[in-house]
Structure 1
C-alpha cells in the first residue's frame, strides 16, 4: 500500500495559464492513438484508413500524421439508420462499408448513434483493428459527471463478446512509451498529475515516474486519495495550487 499523500495548497492563477505556457508539450490520448497507428501499426497496403467514432480533436491528430480517415464529424454519419442501410451493411456494400478501412478508432463522440455503432461492429468483424483513445467511464464537467469515452466503446465490447480495444490513453503503457520517445523523458524526474486513481495515478505509478499528484477537481475524492491501495504521493485541491505549493 502507498503511504498517505501530502496535501499541498495555494490560491492564485489557474489552469488556463498552465495550458498556455505548456501548449507544445501537451500529449493527448488522441495524439497517442495517431502515433500508434502511423508509426507502430503495420496496416495492409489496401486497408490504410481509419473509421473514426469521435470529434474534431481525433481528426486533427490523424491528419497531422497523414493518416486517412472517414467517419468522425462527417455530417453523413450523423443520421438515423434506414432499412436500406441494414441491407447494404449486411452485404458489405462499399457505399457504406469502405473496403479500405483497417482500423476502428473510438473516442468521445457527442453525436454517437446506431449507424456508427453498426458500421464499427461490421468493420471489426471484417478484420479491422479495434482501438480506443481512452477507456474513461466518466467525464467531469460543470461540477458533475457525464458519460466518458469508455461508454462509447462499451456497446462494441459487448457485441464482440467481451473483446476489449487496445486503449491508447492512460493507464496504457503504450502511451508512456510514446511520450518517452517524443520528449526524451527521464521517468525518475517526471510527475504524473491527475484526478482519477484508476487511470492517471495508476499510469504514473506503473510507468515508474518519480512522483504522482492527485487533484480534487475531477473524479476521485479526497477519501479515495487517502485510503486506496494505489494512491498518489500528494494531492491538491486544484492545479492553481501548484504555483504556490512548497
Structure 2
C-alpha cells in the first residue's frame, strides 16, 4: 500500500544477529517486497561507523566481536577485519590456562582496536574475559545496540544490552551504541537515503528505541504499533517520557 502511494521505505532494525541479506530472505519468505539496500540494521550501522568514521589504522585495525554471524557478515562487507564472534574455539568453558594466557597477553590478538558487542546466543565467561582484556589495553567500546529485552514467541527474552551487561559492569563505562535510538544511526541512514526528516514517519513497537529514535531525530511523526514490546498504558499517562504522535493496534490498521 505504501509503495503504491509512492512512499520510500527503509527497514531499520536493532537485531544484530541477522545481516541485510538475511533480512531480505526473511522478507521474501513473508511475501514482502524488499531490496537489500532498503534494510539498515544495527550490525550494518556499526560496520559503517567502524569503516568510514573510525577508519582504523594498523597496527590496531581489527575488531573483537561478541555476537552472531550477522555482525560478521556486515563487517566483512565493509572490509573490516575481525575475530571472536562465532569462532567455535571460543564456545567452551574457561580453562585454568586461559587465565594465565589472557593475563600475559598471549591469548590476545595485538591488532584488536575495537570491542563490538551485540546479541550473542553463545556468550560465556571466556568471551567476556577477552573483551574486558582488550578494553583494558585501550580498545574502543562499541555496541550494535543496547536493548534490554528481545521479543520472541509472544514473550520477552534478554536482549543485547542484557547480554553485554557484565562487560559494562566490569569496565565501568557504557559502549557507544550504534542502533536505535542512537542519532549516529539516524545520521547514517539520512546520509545514505537522502530523505526529508520533516516528511518521514518512524513506525515501531518499542517506545525507548523506535519512538524515541524518531522523536530525537526530529522526524515529522512517530507511529507506535501495539503488537510488540510497548503498550499504550505506558504513554497514555501524565508525565510519560516518550509519547508517539499516533498509535495503532496492529500494522494492518493502516489499510483501514
Normalised TM-score (structure 2): 0.85
Match of 2:236 among 226, 240, 245: 226
Distance 1:141 1:132 in 2: 21
Name 2:185's counterpart in structure 1.
Answer: 175
Note the residue ranges of structure 1 that are not aligned, 5 or more in a row: 1-14
Most deviating of 189-198 and 83-92:
189-198
Name 1:140's counterpart in structure 2.
Answer: 151
1:165 aligns with 2:175: yes
Task: Report Cα offsets for 1:96-125 as digits up to 9, x if no partner.
Answer: 210000111000000000000000000010
Most deviating of 227-236 and 107-116:
227-236
1:74 aligns with 2:84: no
* Conserved 8 A contact 1:214-1:225: no
Q: Which has the higher contact order (CA 8 A, sep 6+)?
A: 1
Distance 1:90 1:219 in 2: 41
1:55 aligns with 2:68: yes
Name 2:59's counterpart in structure 1.
Answer: 46
1:126 aligns with 2:137: yes
- Following superposition, the deviation at residue 165 of structure 1 comes to 0.1
Distance 2:35 2:245 in 1: 23
Note the residue ranges of structure 2 that are not aligned, 5 or more in a row: 1-26
- Following superposition, the deviation at residue 188 of structure 1 comes to 1.0
- Following superposition, the deviation at residue 42 of structure 1 comes to 3.5
1:209 aligns with 2:201: no
Question: Against the structure 1 CA distance between its residues 192 and 22, is the aligned structure 2 distance closer, same or farther, given a 3 Å change threshold?
Answer: farther
Task: Report Cα offsets for 1:174-229 as digits up to 9, x if no partner.
Answer: 00010011111211111111111111111100101111011112211121132323
Superposition pairs of residues 185-200 of structure 1, within 5 angstroms: 185-200=195-210
Normalised TM-score (structure 1): 0.88
RMSD: 1.3
- Following superposition, the deviation at residue 79 of structure 1 comes to 0.7
Distance 2:250 2:84 in 1: 36
- Following superposition, the deviation at residue 236 of structure 1 comes to 1.9
